[in-house]
Amino acid sequence: MKFIGSSANLALVVLLVLSVVGTAGATMLYQSSVQNLDQQNDRLRSENENLRERLETTRSELQSTRQRLQRVNESLSTTKSDVQQVAEKLESTEKQLNATEEMLANTRDDLEDSRERVDTLESRVDDLQDRRDQLQQQVDTLENEKEDLQDEVTTLENEKEDLQDEVRSLENENSELRSDLRSLCNKVENENTSYSECRGV
């Protein structure tokens, strides 16, 4: 009977020890799980902060690129308008040059006629010589005017070429900025974020 009682007490002691060990193990497991969750939360907070910073940087780059694109478009529009004005002025100057050349040719013809008449009409030599001198002066004036107009045409043609080069440069910059904008928009879309600036890009 004493042996049975001792066995029962031993069994109780064993059960009590197992209960304590189980509780301690569960507590340790719980603490370990809580610690792991805290670490995961800290890591996720850090990752969220990095994502927020990257998102803000991308948004800033997107806004800056759109502003640059708008400035380039405005500059391009202004330059194209300048090219149109120069082209119109060049066309007008060329017409004026053509008219001057025609007038010069007619005046030279008149001068030649006058010279012939001087040779054939001795009695009117003095009058014809005066006329010849006037026509010669007119020829000289028109030739000077022609040279001035030709210089102006050359200057306007150079200015037109410079403006056309500027247009091509601005169009290239425009294309590059649109490409940068599309790349930024694609980058934003890959991060499951959308902006109204990217619509229609």
CB of 152 within 8 A of CB of 145? no
Backbone angles phi, psi at 194, to 5 degrees: -130, 150
Instruction: Report whether pLDDT(112) > 70.
Output: yes
- The reported pLDDT for the residue numbered 144 is 94
All structural domains of the chain = 2-198 (1.10.287.1490)
pLDDT beyond 50 at 35:
yes
> Exposed, middle or buried, 56 (CB in 10 Å: 0-12/13-18/19+)?
exposed
pLDDT at 12: 58
Q: Which two tokens stand for residue 191?
A: 């991060």
Between 12 and 48, the more confident residue is: 48
pTM above 0.75, yes or no: no
In this prediction, residue 126 has a pLDDT band, given cuts at 50, 70 and 90, of confident
Mean pLDDT taken over the chain: 79
pLDDT of 18 strictly over 60: no
First to last CA, the chain: 94
The answer to whether 81 touches 163, Cβ cutoff 8 Å, is no
Q: What is the mean pLDDT of residues 28-32?
A: 63
Q: What is the DSSP string of 163-180?
A: HHHHHHHHHHHHHHHHHH
pLDDT digits (tens, 9 = 90+) for 80-102: 888 888 888 889 988 998 998 89
Structure confidence at residue 25 as a pLDDT band (50, 70, 90): low
User: Cβ atoms within 10 A of the Cβ of 186, count?
Assistant: 11
Query: Could you give the C-alpha distances from 6 to 2, 18, 95, in angstroms and in order?
Result: 6, 18, 131
Residue 34 pLDDT grade (very low, low, confident, very high; cuts 50, 70, 90) = low
Residue pair 135/103 in contact by the 8 Å Cβ criterion: no
